[in-house]
Chains A and B, each alone.
Chain A
Amino acid sequence: MKKLSKWSVFYLCLVFVVLYAPIFYLIFYSFNSGGTMHNFEDFTLDWYKELFHDSRLLIIVLNTIIIALLSAAISTIIGVLGAISISMMRKKSMRDSVLSLNNILIVSPDVIIGASFLIFFTILGIKLGFFSVLISHIAFSIPIVVIMVLPKLEEMSPTLVDAALDLGASGKEVLTKVIIPYISPGILAGFFMALTYSLDDFAVTFFVTGNGFTTLSVEIYSLARRGISLNINALSSLLFLLTLILVIGYYFITKRANKQMGVK
């Protein structure tokens, strides 16, 4: 592997610095005894201590994570299947119309999605809460999964499939042993983008939730009118740290495992 030039490293570092600047800003002020995000007074851990007494907030965080994980997983599965079926279409007009339908939710403002889903749920008489939020999150994440997976399917050479079939693979085996491994980077990309959509969503969740169920985003936006106290900073910092450790940890564990199995 060629070594990276100095400029490349510099550019990459610059990108990372900019990406993480607001995050570090938030973490920095989570230690502020001053209570605001612009006047640093004294270092304190009070905001973190406050978190541990707030069981309501803890429940909200856990709910948010559960919804994010499940909705991302399910929408990825449905999205992948959808992308595969789109790539198998032969008529351009069919493809274009399904793709346009796919993208409608991405172009629509969250308010509209939230309002129309709410109407939908009330017409069907579905009680608002965990399931209505889960279903809604799955619904708006599917399009982005399709967009992330489709290019990989397009790139895949059809001769791969033909070769597999020639060698006697069944339809199912072609799917699981040829197609899916090939497009797995797209699948992962779709999964992570779906996670992002879910974690960040406010408007849709706000409209379709109820009965005491709420996510972190809704909670934070509701605090805006009165001022977001720094325990939210503390919470976000902890979540960030946790995710960071998980990501790095997972990565090095799998690297180790692969090495031991002799995979590069």
Chain B
Amino acid sequence: MVLPMKNSKKWYIIPYYLWIALFVIAPLALIVYYSFFNIEGNLSLENYEKFFTSVYLFMTLNSFWYALLITLISLLIAYPTAYILTKTRHKQLWLLLIILPSWINLLLKAYAFIGIFGTYGVTNKTLEFLGIGKQQILFTDFSFLFVSVYIFIPFMILPIFNSLEKLNPSLVYASQDLGASSWTTFRKIIFPLTIDGVKSGCQAVFIPSLSLFMITRLIAGNRVITLGTAIEEHFLITQDWGMGSTIAVFLIIIMIIIMVLTGNRKRGV
């Protein structure tokens, strides 16, 4: 897309690139700089050596795995939701109503979940009533994934909804006219045409999931350890900004790799 913008009109892009320089590149440089200092403040590579030990490598795989699960589950739940939303009458209203809960403070919601999933909480009372009996819900992978997906769902629904909205319905009708089943229509028409929204949603969910740490403690009781847990600890408790920065560097590298692999290619029409 090219616009006949004279060079003098390029002023409008200044704010964005100024932001990148001041608030992205500068802190990034700071982080990289700190990663080369050990805990005593001397120049050293020991942080990087430490990262390649089994503890941190396992943590990285762990973070990766859970972030992937959270993203996939969010996608599976969000896509049908977005699709059904596009067919309702007051879609913008429902959309806003979906976003609304995310404006309530996270800690409060986590406390509510502790109450809901607790051994004597609402869920277990219902399970008892149904005859299934009490289950240990808190401090499990299940509750962790549940609450994480809960937090990230609006971020997945919105871009997919936007993509679905712009989908030309006549394409769907044409496909059905030509005899394709619903599943084939979805697979070959709907999904590919909304892939940009899906990618956007995945990025908005996967990337922050890698550094989750509050939920790992509140809901998972530290049964799940992510890179975020370690960073939080190094920055705040040990005050080893060096090691914390090193982990952050690796997080950023992982993010870049993912961005490049799933990057958008320019398409025609």
Q: Residues of A with Cβ closer than 8 Å to B?
A: 1-2, 4, 8, 11-12, 15-16, 18-23, 25-26, 29, 37-38, 77-79, 81-82, 84-85, 87-88, 90, 92, 95-96, 98-109, 111-113, 115-117, 119-120, 138-139, 142, 144, 147-148, 150-159, 161, 165, 170-172, 174-175, 185-186, 189, 192-193, 195-196, 199-200, 202, 216-217, 220-221, 224, 228, 232-233, 236, 239-240, 243-244, 247-248, 251, 255
Contacts and interface: CB of A to CB of B under 8 A. Distances in A.
Specify the main secondary structure of chain A where it touches its partner: helix
B256 A100 contact: yes
Contacts of B31: 108, 112, 116
Interface stretch (B43-51, B52-60, B99-107, B184-192): B99-107
B112 A26 contact: yes
B154 to A, nearest CB: 7
A175 B1 contact: no
Nearest to A89: B266
B93 A109 contact: no
A189 B155 CA distance: 9
B264 A247 contact: no
A90 B266 CA distance: 8
B84 A18 contact: no
A186 B16 contact: no
A115 B242 CA distance: 13
7 A-B pairs with least C-beta separation:
A82-B16, A22-B112, A116-B27, A151-B196, A139-B23, A107-B255, A109-B211
A247 B162 contact: no
B132 interface: no
B203 A38 contact: no
A162 B1 CA distance: 9
Contacts of B255: 100, 103-104, 106-107
Contacts of A107: 207-208, 210-211, 251-252, 254-255
Contacts of A95: 263-264
B235 A111 contact: yes
B85 to A, nearest CB: 7
Contacts of A243: 100, 103
Contact of B15 (A19, A78, A147): A78
19 contacts: A8-B84, A15-B77, A22-B101, A23-B101, A25-B112, A29-B115, A37-B115, A82-B13, A85-B13, A109-B228, A109-B231, A111-B244, A112-B245, A119-B30, A152-B162, A172-B9, A236-B108, A239-B104, A240-B100
A200 B102 contact: yes
B37 interface: no
Contact of A78 (B19, B197, B254): B19
B174 to A, nearest CB: 16
A12 B98 CA distance: 10
A112 B251 CA distance: 12
A84 B9 CA distance: 14
Nearest to B210: A107
B24 to A, nearest CB: 5
B252 A117 contact: no
B158 A148 contact: yes
Contacts of B92: 251
Contacts of A221: 107
Contacts of A196: 99, 102-103, 154
Interface in B135-178: 150, 153-155, 158-159, 162-163, 165-166
A4 B122 CA distance: 31
